[in-house]
Structure 1
Amino acid sequence: MTTFAARLLTLLGFVGLLCWVLLWHLWLSPHPDLNPWLLPVIWTVPLLFPLKGILQGNPYTHAWGNFVLMPYFLHALTLITTDEGERALAVVELVLTTLAFVGTIYYARLRGRELGLSIRKSKENG
């Protein structure tokens, strides 16, 4: 995989997930008992923390941005297995999260190498 392809995967997955969460919770399946803006805010705020670094192509942000993606991954898997009504929506969330996850891993690794930022193993540790 090239750095460019990893960057495209990351942007497609990450920005796609951000847009999907808003679309899902505001229009496709808003919660019937809560303020219509509560869930979209709760689900989009974590994605905003690494957004600037992701858009700028910072490999360090791509590396830690994976931690932000994990709740979305778990949320999608949970809904796929428990909620037939939102299963299709959760599959989209899972695909976008997986694209972002794979893209960020490869981009951080490849771009980090290009910039000479790779972590080298010491001879003592194996």
Structure 2
Amino acid sequence: MHSELSPAVAWSQRVAVAALLGLIALGLAWELWLAPTGSGMLALKVLPLTIPLAGLLKRRLYTYRWVSLVIWLYFIEGVVRASGDGGLSARLALAEIALCLVLFTACTVHVHWRVRRHPEGTA
């Protein structure tokens, strides 16, 4: 089904999955243990991040494309909380921003190299 992966595609997949898992872990730790805001209901924000995991692992091009768009919602949350919160919460928000940028970069590299290698099968 899949031909041999180029190093850029394989690298980008590993980085994207790692960044996504990092965002999930960060979101849970942040809202449940490190700097919770109330009853912990904000931890539910990580649920949408679990949806694309299977698609990233299976290298579904569509998943990489839409993750690179949806991740900006989490980036915006990080920016708002980094500028509005203080202390540990602000530092966690900076980590969220960094993970979002890593995930976005990995997804766009993945799409770029896949489209470049097989442009006819990517529509």
TM-score range, shorter chain: 0.7 to 0.9
Amino acid at match of 1:79: R
Amino acid at match of 1:5: W
Identity rate, percent = 26
Q: Give TM-score, length-normalised by structure 1.
A: 0.81
Q: CA deviation at 1:64?
A: 0.8
Number of the residue aligned with 1:106: 109
Larger Rg: 1
* Root mean square deviation, CA, Å: 1.8
Q: For structure 1, which runs of at least 5 residues remain unmatched after alignment?
A: 120-126
Which has the higher mean CA deviation after the structures are superposed, 7-16 or 97-106? 7-16
Number of the residue aligned with 2:19: 13
Q: For structure 2, which runs of at least 5 residues remain unmatched after alignment?
A: 1-6
2: CA distance, partners of 1:58 / 1:114: 15
Q: Give TM-score, length-normalised by structure 2.
A: 0.83
Q: Give 1:15-94 correspondences, 5 Å limit.
A: 15-32=21-38, 35-36=39-40, 38-41=41-44, 43-85=45-87, 86-94=89-97
Question: Which fold has the larger relative contact order, with Cα–Cα distance below 8 Å and residues 6 or more apart in sequence?
Answer: 1
Amino acid at match of 2:19: G
Aligned length, in residue pairs: 115
